[in-house]
Amino acid sequence: MKDREQFGRKIAQFQITQHKLADMATKIEQARLLTYKAAWNFDQGRLDPKLTSMAKMVAGRTAVEVCDEAIQLLGGYGYMAEYDVERFARDAKICEIYEGTKEIQKNTIASALVGKLK
Ligand SMILES: Cc1cc2nc3c(=O)[nH]c(=O)nc-3n(C[C@H](O)[C@H](O)[C@H](O)COP(=O)(O)OP(=O)(O)OC[C@H]3O[C@@H](n4cnc5c(N)ncnc54)[C@H](O)[C@@H]3O)c2cc1C
């Protein structure tokens, strides 16, 4: 983005591009903080499936959304197998599937919030 030029400007100079980067960086930081909180909680000897499920779900979703935006920012190059970001996107998607799909993480979070109903 700092190299490629379109309409006489670097892609990274467009404000919409910079806003996308700001959103991506913010999402990553949110996911990181939630993950660290869940890990810290575990290190304190507390088991909180709600928190770990939130961390897993948010980190997986963030990886998918950020990689999708990264492909978009690189345009056609982003989609091509020759560029790393295409592989990052495939690697990210599995985070929403293995070790508990995002739907199952939501079940865990919801049951912790609602509790057992009779
Ligand atoms: C690359 C890769 C590596 C893997 N590594 C391992 C490993 O090392 N060890 C291991 O044990 N497994 C591993 N797995 C398996 C992985 O954990 C499962 O694929 C995952 O748990 C999802 O199970 P499934 O594929 O049977 O999907 P399914 O259970 O068939 O689910 C399909 C869809 O239905 C949804 N669904 C299912 N049940 C419900 C429900 N009750 N409510 C709402 N939605 C539901 C799911 O969320 C999903 O979207 C791996 C899978 C892959 C692809």
pLDDT digits (tens, 9 = 90+) for 62-102: 999 999 999 999 999 999 999 999 999 999 999 999 999 99
Ligand 1 atom nearest residue 99's Cα: 17
Question: 5-114 has which CATH code?
Answer: 1.20.140.10
Side chain identity, residue 62: T
* Cα(91) to centroid(ligand 1), Å: 15
Q: Residue of the nearest CA to atom 11 in ligand 1?
A: 99
**Cβ neighbours of residue 59 under 8 Å, at least 6 residues apart?**
31, 34, 35, 95
What confidence score (pLDDT) does residue 38 get? Answer: 98
Beta-carbon-side half-sphere exposure of residue 14 (alpha carbons within 13 Å): 14
**Cβ neighbours of residue 40 under 8 Å, at least 6 residues apart?**
none
| Active site positions, annotated | 99
* Cα(93) to centroid(ligand 1), Å: 12
The full set of domain ranges for the chain reads 5-114
Closest of 26, 33, 23 to residue 72, by C-alpha: 23
Ligand 1 atom nearest residue 103's Cα: 47
